[in-house]
């Protein structure tokens, strides 16, 4: 269980952690910047597809480990009381953050699927659809960032 917690909860400790607190958030930020090329040029190159697949892997690894932890009764650290009404980070416990963590994870999976649809040109004409790629990846980055933020910081309803 400890190995799963380590894999699932890995965070960067550097000074740039406010931009990308986790490897997943970093991969989505790179995908966001990289998506500008296909949106402008109207074509998707092999490198972008490789990075998109890597982002899928970095999505599924914490998602699967998180599901296993959840089945084992775990909740996000911001929703777990380690004593005195505080989380492991010394902040007030907020049980509602557990559901937010699930919501943002689901939104990331949905956005990655939409990104695949835009890249493949299904449901939307290929070239016009690529113009929406930066919007989708910006939303993806925002959700990936919030996954890490929700796991650490309490929301507006601590202690309820």
Most confidently predicted of 3-12, 127-136, 151-160: 127-136
pTM for this predicted structure: 0.90
**How far is Cα 30 from Cα 28, in angstroms, rounded to an integer?**
5
- Band of the pLDDT at 79, cuts 50, 70, 90? confident
For the residues 42-60, what does the mean pLDDT come to?
94
**How far is Cα 5 from Cα 88, in angstroms, rounded to an integer?**
13
For the residues 64-74, what does the mean pLDDT come to?
91
Q: How far is CA 41 from the centre of its chain?
A: 27
Nearest partner of 112 among 120, 124, 77, judged by Cα: 120
Neighbours of 132 (CB within 10 A): 16
Give the domain ranges of the chain. Answer: 1-151
- pLDDT for 122: 82
Residue appearing with tokens 């980070």: 89
For residue 18, is pLDDT > 80? no
């Amino acid at each position: 269980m400890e190995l799963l917690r380590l894999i699932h909860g890995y965070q960067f400790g550097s000074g740039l952690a406010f931009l990308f607190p986790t490897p997943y958030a970093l991969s989505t930020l790179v995908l966001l910047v990289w998506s500008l090329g296909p949106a402008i040029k109207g074509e998707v190159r092999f490198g972008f597809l490789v990075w998109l697949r890597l982002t899928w892997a970095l999505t599924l690894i914490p998602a699967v480990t998180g599901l296993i932890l959840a089945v084992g009764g775990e909740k996000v650290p911001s929703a777990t009381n380690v004593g005195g009404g505080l989380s492991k980070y010394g902040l007030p416990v907020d049980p509602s953050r557990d559901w937010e963590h699930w919501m943002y994870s689901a939104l990331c999976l949905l956005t990655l699927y939409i990104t695949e649809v835009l890249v493949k040109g299904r449901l939307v004409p290929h070239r016009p659809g690529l113009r929406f790629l930066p919007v989708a990846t910006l939303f993806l980055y925002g959700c990936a960032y919030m996954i890490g933020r929700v796991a650490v910081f309490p929301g507006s309803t601590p202690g309820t």
